[in-house]
Amino acid sequence: MELAFYIAGAVAVLSTVLMLTRLHLVHALLYLIVSLLGVAVVFYVLGAAFVAALEIIIYAGAIMVLFIFVVMMLNLSGPAAEMEKRWLTPGIWTGPVVLASILIIEVLYLVRGSSTGIAGGGVEPKQVGIALFGPYIIGVELASMLLLAGLVGAYHLGHRKVEKPEIQHDADTHEGRAVAGGDLVLAGADRSARTP
C-alpha cells in the first residue's frame, strides 16, 4: 500500500515536470491530465475514494474540457488542420499512455486487493457530508456564491467579445458597451470583496 502511494506520487510528479517542459499546449494538457489522475490515485490510496472520484470528474473532466476548448478556440485562427495533425502524431501519445497505464495497473491491483487505505480506514463520505452541512454550512453558501460570481463573470467577459462583431450596425449600443468598461472593474471589485 505504501508502494502504491509512492508509485502514484512519482507518476504525478513526473508528469507535472513533463507538463512544464512541453512546448505545445496540447502536450502539456495531456501531461496535466495524467498528473491529475495520479493525484486521484493518491487520494484513493489514502482511503478517500469519494474525493478521488470528484477529482477525476471535476478536474480531469470539467476543467480539462474548458482548457481544451480554449486551446481549440485560440488555434482556430491559424492553419489549424496540419498543425493538429503534426501535434497529434502517435509518438506523442506514448508518454502519457505509459504513465496512465501505470496508474491503471495500480488501480486494478488495488481494487483486486483489500481496499483499506494507507492510514487505516480513512474518512467515509458520510462523515464528510455531515461535516459539510453541519458546521461548514456557511462555507457551502460562500462556495455557491463564488460559483455564481464566477459564472456571471465568465459570461460577462466572454459575452462582449462574441457579440461585438455582430452589433456593428447598432452604433449607440456598441459605444455604450465600449464606454462602460468600468463596470467590468466594478464587477471584479465586487467579486473579490465577496469571496473571502
**Interface with another protein (CB under 8 A), residue from 53, 92, 97, 132:** 132
Does position 36 interact with another protein (CB under 8 A)? The reply is: yes
Query: CA-CA distance, 67 to 28, in Å (whole number)?
Result: 11
Query: CA-CA distance, 58 to 126, in Å (whole number)?
Result: 20
Phi-psi region of 120 (alpha: psi -120 to 50; beta: other; left: phi over 0): left
Report phi then psi at 88, rounded to 5: -100, 35
Helix axes 64-75, 80-87, angle to 10 degrees: 130
CA angle 36, 22, 93 (to 5 degrees): 70
Q: What does each C-alpha distance from 51 to 47, 112, 134 come to in angstroms?
A: 9, 20, 19
Provide the minimum distance between the beta carbon of 44 and another protein in the complex, in angstroms, as a whole number: 11
Provide the minimum distance between the beta carbon of 191 and another protein in the complex, in angstroms, as a whole number: 8
Report phi then psi at 186, rounded to 5: -65, -45
Concatenating the DSSP letter of every residue in 108-135 gives HHHHHS----TTSS---HHHHHHHHHTT
Provide the minimum distance between the beta carbon of 189 and another protein in the complex, in angstroms, as a whole number: 14
**Interface with another protein (CB under 8 A), residue from 34, 37, 41, 42:** 42
**Interface with another protein (CB under 8 A), residue from 3, 72, 74, 80:** 74
Build a one-symbol-per-residue string for 90-129: x at contacts with another protein by CB under 8 A, - elsewhere: ---------------------------xxx-xxx---xx-
Provide the minimum distance between the beta carbon of 183 and another protein in the complex, in angstroms, as a whole number: 15
**Interface with another protein (CB under 8 A), residue from 47, 102, 103, 106:** 47
- Name which of 66 and 98 has its Cβ closer to another protein: 66
Which residues here bind another protein, judged by CB under 8 A? Answer: 9, 12-13, 16-17, 19-20, 25, 28-29, 32, 35-36, 39, 42-43, 46-48, 50-51, 54-55, 58-59, 62-63, 66-67, 70-71, 73-74, 117-119, 121-123, 127-128, 130-132, 136, 139, 143-144, 146-147, 149-151, 153-154, 157-158, 160-161
